[in-house]
């Protein structure tokens, strides 16, 4: 399938929806970033910590795959996080050539506080919506998640 063929099937409504969603999601992401509790870490570092917190100890290569970055880039991210005391390396239980990377308690606390601040802001914003608007967002959340996972 070519780009030209894909665009030929795209309707004006799809293009307008795409544009509106892109702008809205970017604005919301920017606003949520503004609620972060610390500017000490890059977005890539926070994303890597969050992935480690979600998935548990994993190899740097697996972390790179989850984050869709090249392994050498993730090696640098992990090294920076380790220098800050936010991740630790532990021996792989079945493969001595590998290590697993895990979040430290310090990182876990930082992530919890960060999530708490951003969710508190979002809860306050949701309180201003009508019940019907909240129902629409409830239905949209898994669809947006599916789009993000593609």
Whichever domain contains 143, its CATH number is 1.10.10.10
Angstrom distances, CA of residue 24 to CA of 10, 30, 31, 111, 128: 20, 10, 11, 25, 17
102 in any annotated domain: yes
134 in any annotated domain: yes
Q: What is the pLDDT, as a whole number, of residue 7? A: 54
Domain extent at residue 100: 35-149
82 in any annotated domain: yes
59 in any annotated domain: yes
53 in any annotated domain: yes
**Model pTM greater than 0.95?**
no
Q: What is the pLDDT, as a whole number, of residue 69? A: 93
45 in any annotated domain: yes
Residues of the chain whose pLDDT is less than 70?
1-9, 38
Q: What is the pLDDT, as a whole number, of residue 59? A: 94
138 in any annotated domain: yes
6 in any annotated domain: no
Domain count, the chain: 1
């Amino acid at each position: 399938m070519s780009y030209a063929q894909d665009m030929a099937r795209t309707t004006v409504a799809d293009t307008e929806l795409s544009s509106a969603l892109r702008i809205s999601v970017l604005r919301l992401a920017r606003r949520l970033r503004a609620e972060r509790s610390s500017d000490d870490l890059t977005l890539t570092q926070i994303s890597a910590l969050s992935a480690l917190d979600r998935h548990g100890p994993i190899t740097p290569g697996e972390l790179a795959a989850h984050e869709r970055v090249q392994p050498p880039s993730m090696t640098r991210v992990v090294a920076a996080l380790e220098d800050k005391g936010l991740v630790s390396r532990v021996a792989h239980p079945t493969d001595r050539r590998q290590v697993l990377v895990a979040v430290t308690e310090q990182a876990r606390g930082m992530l919890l506080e960060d999530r708490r601040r951003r969710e508190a802001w979002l809860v306050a914003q949701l309180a201003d919506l009508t019940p019907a608007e909240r129902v629409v967002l409830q239905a949209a959340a898994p669809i947006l998640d599916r789009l993000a996972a593609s």
